[in-house]
Copies of this chain bind each other. A is one copy, B any other.
Amino acid sequence: MVTMRDVARRADVSIATVSFTVNNSKTVSPATRARVEQAMEELGFRRNMVARALASRRTRVIALLYPALQQRLSGTAVKFFTSAAKTAGDLGYTLVLWPVSNDAEQVTQLTSGGLVDGVLLMQVQLDDPRVDRLVETGTPFAMIGRTRDPSGLTFVDIDSENTTVAALDYLTGLGHRRIALLTSDGDSAVPHFGPTERTRATYLVEMGRRGLDPVMLECGETPQAGRLAADELYARAPETTAVMVLNENAAFGLLNGLRHLGVSVPGDMSILSVGSSPDIAAIADPALTLMVSPADELGRMGVEALVDRLEGREERGNHTLVMCAFHEGSSTAPPRR
């Protein structure tokens, strides 16, 4: 291995000078810089990130913690990851997906080990054991999503309230009055998932405000469960003309279940899938109309907020909300007269 010492000797300068030129941490005379760079070139020098980390007390690595790895990574999650990784790279960091459960002990071990400078938390629950632990150990972190009381913490999250309002505006704008809501149930990968609870609450309020009757269904996050939900919907509320779905996998099952019931989409029933991603919604037939999860923005802003904290540019408590964006598909239409 070629060390800085080798380079220094070859360029006939001190180790410190080599460090300065490599890191641009101090001004170096052009002549000296040239000599050093030539020496590095000739020797094939590559700096040792571990030594660098030990000396500077930072690895420039950020860990993305995604607990729900037992299932497939949704298109949304991947988009998020990709965007976050790119942003991190632009800011001089490396972001890696670190597979830990939401066991607090594992999280502690990771962060206090010094291998990562900070942590980005995905799939945050309303009461998340990881968060308490991170606060305790003083690890810099930012959340995608938020706990029940996120004051003093840094997070970016989906603006479920306004997204729900927009979704209902869209459906009522088409003329629908019988609008049901299908979400995940308590057995989902992330129990007490903020967006689910906030969407349900907002849905109730908004339906009431519009003088409409709410119909709320919930089911597991599988196509099979979605299919059963179709049956349940027809048993409980056969008059329904539109369903707002916050459960990507179930949306497919719902669609198939309706077809088997002889219900045409969007002729007899409109379906609006909230929080999914276009590429996966395209699998459905007809292609689903969506409120697209702002994965790119969330990833970018999450990393930016975290790096701000890492570099001391910000006190704690940066909060940002982003709405889902409407994406036209073929699963919605005005209700039949």
Residues of A whose CB lies within 8 Å of any CB of B are: 46-51, 53-54, 59, 61, 63, 69-75, 77-79, 81-82, 85, 94-99, 108-109, 112-115, 222-224, 249, 252-253, 256, 259, 277, 279-280, 282-283, 285
Contacts and interface: CB of A to CB of B under 8 A. Distances in A.
A223 B46 CA distance: 45
Contacts of A46: 108-109, 112-113
A71, A77, A223 interface centre (most CB from chain B within 10 Å): A223
Contacts of A256: 285
B283 A252 contact: yes
Q: Count identical subunits in the complex.
A: 2
A261 B224 CA distance: 26
18 contacts: A46-B109, A48-B54, A49-B113, A49-B114, A50-B59, A59-B115, A63-B96, A69-B82, A72-B78, A73-B73, A85-B99, A95-B99, A96-B99, A97-B99, A222-B279, A249-B283, A252-B283, A253-B283
Contacts of A50: 50, 53-54, 59, 113-115
A287 to B, nearest CB: 8
A280 B72 contact: yes
A19 to B, nearest CB: 16
Given A50-B54, A249-B283, 7 more contacts: A46-B108, A46-B113, A48-B113, A61-B115, A71-B279, A72-B73, A82-B99
Nearest to A259: B285
A259 B282 CA distance: 16
Nearest to A47: B113
A159 to B, nearest CB: 24
A84 to B, nearest CB: 9
